Amino acid sequence: MSRAFVKEDDGHEPEPSYALPDPDAPGYDAAAAWALLEGANRGDSRSAERATGYAWGEPALVPHIRAILLSAEKDGEDRLAQLARRFLAAAGEPPPP
Interval 46-64: pLDDT, tens: 999 999 999 999 999 999 9
**pLDDT score at 20:** 95
Q: Give me the mean pLDDT over the 6-16 stretch.
A: 62
Helical spans, DSSP H, in the chain = 28-42, 45-52, 62-75, 78-90
**pLDDT score at 1:** 45
* Sign of the alpha-carbon torsion through 58, 64, 69, 70: positive
Task: Say whether pTM exceeds 0.85.
Answer: no
**pLDDT score at 19:** 87
Query: Is 2 a residue whose pLDDT tops 50?
Result: no
Query: Is 32 a residue whose pLDDT tops 60?
Result: yes
User: What kind and span of H or E run contains 84?
Assistant: helix 78-90
